Chain A
């Protein structure tokens, strides 16, 4: 597994944990442990996302945009990986 795949795998795991815990918080909005864990997951996911985008292009349209080309349409869409 190359560095790009490793970073993406980490981002995907963190984002998934965040989404799943977010559902729990919808029905338990006053759970202090879940709130603290959610905030930590979000912070980590955003940090990994930023690191990925710096090397491998935007995950959200326009992220890290610079230069003379719209990178969003230069990097693969997620189902292309076969």
Chain B
């Protein structure tokens, strides 16, 4: 169950429309390292995690990622508000506009629609947490590339905030990996087991 609060985790107030920039930033909504994929990844993986600390982390980071979906979507909505037809044509936004007008549709900057082929959920605590660590790093790189491509401070501030969250989440997932490894330390080769499937090797909680 979730409840909604009518506020963004970080404020977005963009004064100047810029559809060319929206074309790029949309990748962090529905692209391969985007926030929708992040939320889907963590909120799906948590069901097979063998330790409540890790279940809690995936629940809470996944929930925060839904808030980040909302921040990125807000950036896109404001960058494409009150565009002129000329701006649509000249910015190259026309190829998006023809199907979606100024609606928010999760896709990569390349135009590929959001796909769960960009995430993994293996049922294995070690495989999934390593996937999550990599995912946070990939999202950080994408935010850094966005920062290379814009000098509008109204856009840069929320993007810098989102980039920083990738680093925090990476740190927290690294701690989760440590928790899982410590719990399996007495076994000589913990990769031999899949704790989500094999009986009698589950981790202890807390």
Q: Please pick, from A20, A22, A78, A82, the residue contacting B7 in the complex, using a CB distance under 8 A.
A: A78
- Binary flags per residue of A21-34, CB closer than 8 Å to B gives 1, else 0: 01110111100000
Give the chain B neighbours of A72 by CB distance below 8 A: 6
Give the chain A neighbours of B78 by CB distance below 8 A: 79, 82
For residue A71, give the distance in angstroms from its CB to the closest CB of chain B.
11
Give the chain A neighbours of B56 by CB distance below 8 A: 26
Any chain B CB within 8 A of the CB of A50? no
Contact yes or no, A78 B60, CB < 8 A: no
Any chain B CB within 8 A of the CB of A38? no
Q: Please pick, from B6, B9, B14, B70, the residue contacting A16 in the complex, using a CB distance under 8 A.
A: B9
For residue A38, give the distance in angstroms from its CB to the closest CB of chain B.
12
For residue B60, give the distance in angstroms from its CB to the closest CB of chain A.
6
Q: Please pick, from B11, B14, B64, B172, the residue contacting A12 in the complex, using a CB distance under 8 A.
A: B11
Contact yes or no, B7 A8, CB < 8 A: yes
Any chain A CB within 8 A of the CB of B24? no
Contact yes or no, A78 B70, CB < 8 A: yes
Given contacts A27-B175, A29-B206, A82-B15, contact A19 B6 (CB under 8 A): no
Given contacts A27-B53, A27-B57, A60-B4, contact A82 B175 (CB under 8 A): no
Most buried by A among B3, B9, B169: B9
Any chain A CB within 8 A of the CB of B61? yes
Contact yes or no, B172 A60, CB < 8 A: no
Any chain B CB within 8 A of the CB of A42? no
- B61, closest chain A residue (CB): A23
Contact yes or no, B8 A27, CB < 8 A: no
A-B interface, 4 closest residue pairs, ranked by CB to CB distance from nearest: A79-B74, A27-B175, A26-B56, A26-B57
Q: List 21 A-B contacts (CB under 8 A).
A: A12-B9, A12-B10, A15-B9, A19-B9, A19-B60, A23-B168, A26-B53, A26-B56, A27-B172, A28-B175, A59-B5, A59-B6, A60-B3, A60-B6, A61-B4, A78-B7, A79-B73, A81-B13, A82-B13, A82-B14, A82-B81
